[in-house]
Every structure is written in C-alpha cells, then in structure tokens.
C-alpha cells in the first residue's frame, strides 16, 4: 500500500501522518482503543511510526482517559 493511498486521518485517531497511518492500517488499527492495547515499543517497531507519532497518540489517549499498555 502506498502512503499516497492512505487517508490523512483514520477513525478517531489524531492526524499523525500518512506513513504512520499506513502502518496502523496494515496492523488493523483504526481506533484509539486499539492503540491503547499496544506498548510504545510495539508502535515504534512498526515501519512508518516514529517518536513524533507516538507522542501525538499518547496525548490523544490521555485526552480520552486511556494509556498505552504496559
């Protein structure tokens, strides 16, 4: 899947960039609740997800009363 074909935003996820969105879509992750089942290390291990995307996701999780697993 080309990042060019990836939507700029998915479900209730914050805008984190097309490469990170593509990585999450490939993993079947489309919601913050699904992100909350992962660890930071899980996310960083995905090609296209970097520290900036993890920080943005963490802030969004906190805004919704959620947190990363582990």
20-25, Cβ contacts within 8 angstroms, sequence gap of 24 or more? 20/46, 20/48, 20/49, 20/50, 20/53, 22/48, 23/47, 23/48, 23/49, 24/49, 25/1
Q: What is the pLDDT of residue 6?
A: 64
Q: What is 31-70's CATH topology? A: DNA polymerase; domain 1 (1.10.150)
Q: Is the pLDDT of residue 63 over 90?
A: yes
3-58 pLDDT per residue, tens: 566 666 788 999 999 999 999 999 999 999 999 999 999 999 999 999 999 999 99
pTM of the model: 0.88
Q: Where are the domains of the chain?
A: 31-70
pLDDT value of position 33: 97
């Amino acid at each position: 899947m080309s990042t060019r074909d990836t939507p700029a935003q998915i479900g209730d996820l914050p805008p984190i960039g097309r490469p990170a969105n593509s990585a999450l879509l490939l993993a079947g992750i489309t919601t913050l609740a699904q992100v909350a089942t992962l660890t930071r290390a899980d996310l960083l291990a995905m090609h296209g997800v970097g520290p900036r995307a993890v920080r943005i996701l963490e802030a969004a999780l906190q805004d919704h009363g959620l947190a990363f697993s582990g």
